[in-house]
Amino acid sequence: MPSAVLTTRVAAPGGSAHASQVRTEPLWARLVLIAIALGFLGLFVFAPLLAVFYEATKKGFEVYLRAITDADTRSALWVTLLAAGIAVPVNAAFGVSAAWAITKFEFRGKQWLITLIDLPFSVSPVISGLIYMLLFGANGWFGEILRSYGIKIMFAPPAIVLATMFVTAPFVARELIPLMQAQGKAEEECAATLGAGGFATFFRITLPKIRWGLLYGLVLCNARAMGEFGAVSVVSGHIRGATNTLTLHVEILYNEYQFAAAFAVSSLLALLALVTLVAKTLIEAHGFGGRVR
């Protein structure tokens, strides 16, 4: 039974049995390696996922239901949807625009621009929040002007949206740039030569070619936008029922020792993560994706 199941995935190109045999290990070695891999993943990845659902339902279904329908939870869900609802479309527009400029034209400093687009990924989430505090906080660069006009950005939804936009800015761009680079620009040039305008060229030629890549970027961007914690933690002010996102609501409930409620809200976010992984796998089945970060 095990030797029938644990076959090697590598087919010998020449079809000779010997060739496939020399590229694999004896059965015991395969079993040991699989055990190590599954043990490692189990301990560090699958166990936390199971723990979320176990802890969420431990106190019974009623407690679970009350936690996820609580007014503060609903308000947090609303703020989370607001942040993702603005950040994701804006970053999609940014990603498409950046990819068009970078892959359809030649200009100096292109490599620097690509590095710059990736920059938010290498900034610690806490620092991503901090820099907006320095701009829009009471003593920040624009603090005085904003106060005189009565505009509140810090510790209010606008700051949450801005921090989310910063953190998720690279996702769509970094999926589209290599994709559109590989596809070239001959078809677009053809359309333009035949008299199509810029938008007609984009929507009728480019968009159908990049739709899976775009969707892939959108899925990853949305997961991060809804799941961001560190950056929004700095700028939100943690006002319950007003500026709390779901991830921050989890923290507050946990720190108040309402563990069952904290894990109940967490289970919603874990479900979102699982939906994201399913969507990602389906898109990859279309022959796209698999890039890191």
Partner 1 sequence: MSTSGASSARHVLPGFRLTLGFTLLYLLVIVLIPLSSAFVKTFTLTPAGFVAAAFSPRVLAAYRLSFGAALLAATINALFGCIVAWVLVRYEFPGRRVIDALVDLPFALPTSVAGIALTALYAPNGVLGAPLERLGVKVAFTPLGVLVALVFIGMPFVVRTVQPVLEDLDPEREEAAATLGASRFAVFWKVLLPSIRPALITGFALAFARAVGEYGSVVFIAGNIPLVSEITPLIIMTKLEQYDYAGATAVAVVMLLCSFTLLLLINWLQGRTSRVREASA
Tell me which residues in 78-117 interact with partner 1 (CB under 8 A).
93-94, 97-98, 100-101, 104-107, 113, 115-117
Does residue 262 touch partner 1 according to CB under 8 A?
Answer: yes
Tell the smallest beta-carbon distance from residue 40 to partner 1 (Å): 4
With contact defined as beta carbons under 8 Å apart, do 104 and 188 qualify? yes
**Burial class of residue 131, CB neighbours in 10 A (0-12, 13-18, 19+):** middle
Smallest distance from the beta carbon of 117 to partner 1, in angstroms?
Answer: 7
Cβ-based neighbours of 275, under 8 Å, separated by 6 or more: none
Least distance from C-beta 277 to partner 1, angstroms? Answer: 5
Q: CB of residue 215 vs partner 1: minimum separation in angstroms?
A: 15
Q: Binding to partner 1 by residue 145, rule CB under 8 A?
A: no
Q: Is 256 in the site for partner 1 (CB under 8 A)?
A: no
Sequence-separated (6 or more) residues with CB below 8 Å from residue 40: none
- Alpha carbon dihedral 246, 249, 250, 252, in 10-degree steps, equals 170
In the range 31-50, which residues lie near partner 1 by CB under 8 A? Answer: 33-34, 36-38, 40-41, 43-49
Select 75 or 167, whichever has its Cβ closest to partner 1.
167
How far from 227 is each of 20, 27, 239, 260, CA to CA, in Å? 44, 41, 18, 20
Between 59 and 78, how does the x/- string for binding to partner 1 read (CB under 8 A)?
Answer: --------------------
